[in-house]
Amino acid sequence: MMRRTNSSRGVDVAVIGGGAIGISTALGLAQRGASVAVLERGSELASGCSAGNAGIVGPSHVVPLADPAAVRDGLRWMTRPDSPFYVRPSPAVVPWLGRFAAAATPGRVRRSRAVLRDLAAHSAEMHASLASAGLDTGYRRTGLLNVFHRQGAFMDARRQAPADELDGIAHEVLTETELQAVGPSFAQPVAGAILQPNEAYCDPRRFVAAVGAEAEALGVVIRTAAEVLDLRTTDGRIESLWTTQGDVAVGEVIFAAGVWTPQFGPRLGLQLPIQAGKGYHLDVPAGAEDPELPIWLHEDRVVITPLAERVRFAGTLELSGLDQEVSRRRVEAIRAAVAWVLPSLAARPAVDVWRGLRPCTPDGLPIIGRPPEIENATLATGHGMWGLQLAPVTAMLVAQLIAGEKPSHDLTPLRADRFELRSRSSIEPASPFAAGVP
């Protein structure tokens, strides 16, 4: 059972983070009758990475970041700042890269892929249910068109397709005539195309706004510009949060702060090896010849998504710490990838250039679970590129954990302490606030 706070100044549950994961979790808990406050450090919901991704909510491309190809490409592209997967060399990223390489063995990749696909398939159904219930998330099930420049990449995808079918992901290998009927007219010949007809997408910002409005209607308090500075703990429990808007007494705390979550690790007795993976998008105005479904340019790692009144080009991953600088070179690389097949679309003026920091774990799996040393904390973070996709199922699992129910999915691979757990004696000294000093 969820422990409730006795303070008139507090809430049953405080959710740290107002992105897709945090706001979905807040809604799920409010639907169970809890009093909930969302504490978002930014000026609005989805101030972090939630608002800017490609919007795909089908399970086909939800796979671990760590795999042999990613290790190979990362090494090959390390000297190219405009590459699809760029690592800025630094001492801070070396331990993470070691764990990343260790997680990229074929056996671990197969196990992690099965975990992610299971979660993603369930979450995709939940996205559809939210849209059916009337939430205006921009949800559309149009299919996803995968386009390949090189014959080798196309043949690799064809070999993978039967395994995808076993995971419930339908596919159709298109002939040139069929491609012309489904997609726009490409300026360059392509090596091949695969349509995944059951895939869906939504508008990321509309998703967060719609879920947030539904949560507020159920009494959830959303506090923006509310940064959590520290935790007040007593006997293995968090009693209150010290924020830029004052103290908040809590019964439970959900840590869904994305790349900002590791700062709480020492206070929770955990090491949280989350690296910021910077992603970009470029939005252009909508036009008469827009694609009617998302297009995944496979080798360039760029997705073209038709949204209301605009078309989004999204992609790339840059491991460069908590740096939020916008690289013109990377933005133009995205535009160039689109221009290769759809030059008139790529030539439109930009209406929005965005970057966001995705919370990436070295094994590519999210962190969902309780830290052993704090009884009323739950982590829901580290989703990498899949936060929007996995938000509904994550919210369900967190609510089940807090309610003491058996989770619908096995959370062992996602447990909060699967990385090196530090003993209480090695936890950093408590802050003055934690000791009760004003």
pLDDT in tens, 211-246: 999 999 999 999 999 999 999 999 999 999 999 999
Q: Can you tell me which residue has the tokens 């038709």?
A: 306
* Mean pLDDT confidence for 378-384: 97
Q: How far is CA 16 from CA 255, 372, 381, in A?
A: 5, 19, 11
Structure tokens at 47: 């101030």
Residues forming a β-bridge with 15: 38, 254
Residue 325, token pair as written in the block: 């600088």
CA distance from start to end of the chain: 32
Domains identified in the chain and CATH numbers: 1-66+105-140+199-271+363-438 (3.50.50.60), 68-104+141-198+275-360 (3.30.9.10)
Q: What angle do CA 72, 154, 168 make, to 5 degrees?
A: 95
pTM for the predicted model, two decimal places: 0.91
* 16-69 pLDDT, tens digit each: 999 999 999 999 999 999 999 999 999 999 998 888 999 999 999 888 877 777
Does residue 177 register a pLDDT over 90? no
C-alpha distances (whole Å) from 222 to each of 136, 203, 238, 389 are 19, 21, 20, 22
Q: In which residue are the tokens 């539904």 written?
A: 214
Name which residue leads in pLDDT, 277 or 421: 277
Cα-based angle 174, 159, 391 (whole degrees, multiple of 5): 85
**What per-residue confidence (pLDDT) applies to 79?**
64
**How does residue 181 score in pLDDT terms, banded at 50, 70 and 90?**
confident
* Contact of 181 with 331, CB cutoff 8 Å: no
- In this prediction, residues 253-276 reach a mean pLDDT of 95
When the pLDDT of each residue in the chain is averaged and rounded to a whole number, the result is: 89
- Alpha-carbon distance of 349 to 59, in angstroms, equals 32
- Tens of pLDDT, residue by residue over 290-313, are 999 999 999 999 999 999 999 999
pLDDT bucket at 421, cuts 50 / 70 / 90: very low
